[in-house]
Amino acid sequence: MAILLIMLAALAVPPQARDPGERAFQRCAGCHSLRPDDSQSVAPSLHGVFGRRAGTAEGFAYSPALREAGRRGLTWDAATLAQFLEDPEAAVPGTAMPYQGGPASERAAVIDFLRRRAP
């Protein structure tokens, strides 16, 4: 009986809630899609963002600041994502991302989540 209850409890947890990174990504999901070639008007797709040059997702009109940062070589990895999410405006002055990436522990979880999804 106890085992059955535990199994039922596990089934009741939505799959995304089991992964802290995916759960933390819900803060980003209002603006960012994770599907390829799915940049919305509000924000670029983060599909494959890990290892990608900044400002280069198809179909999104980036701020000049982020495009220029990418031209100068800014590429998204654990370190650059950590800086950007901690303080987007300090990392890329002039960026149009109107959001700071939440508490430090969630930022780390989100970065780990994006790294695990890298192609």
Under 8 Å between Cβ of 45 and 28: no
Q: Which is nearer to ligand HEC, 13 or 49 (CB)?
A: 49
28 touches ligand HEC by CB under 6 A = yes
Q: Which of 21, 22, 33, 62 binds ligand HEC (CB under 6 A)?
A: 62
Q: Does 43 engage in binding with ligand HEC (CB under 6 A)?
A: yes
Count of residues that interact with ligand HEC, criterion CB under 6 A: 29
Q: What are phi and psi of 77, to 5 degrees?
A: -135, -170
Q: Closest by alpha carbon to 102, among 15, 13, 29, 17?
A: 29
- In DSSP notation, 46-104 reads -TT-TTPBTT--TT----HHHHHHHHTT-B-SHHHHHHHHH-HHHHSTT--------SH
**Per CB under 6 A, 108 contacts ligand HEC:** no
Stretch that binds ligand HEC, among 3-11, 15-23, 38-46 (CB under 6 A): 38-46
Which residue of 22, 33, 97, 109 would you call a contact of ligand HEC, by CB under 6 A? 97
Residue 49 in the binding site for ligand HEC (CB under 6 A): yes
> What is the chain's Cα-based Rg?
16
Q: State the residues that interact with ligand HEC by CB under 6 A.
A: 27-28, 30-32, 42-44, 46, 49, 54-55, 57, 62-63, 65-66, 76, 81, 84-85, 95-99, 101-102, 110
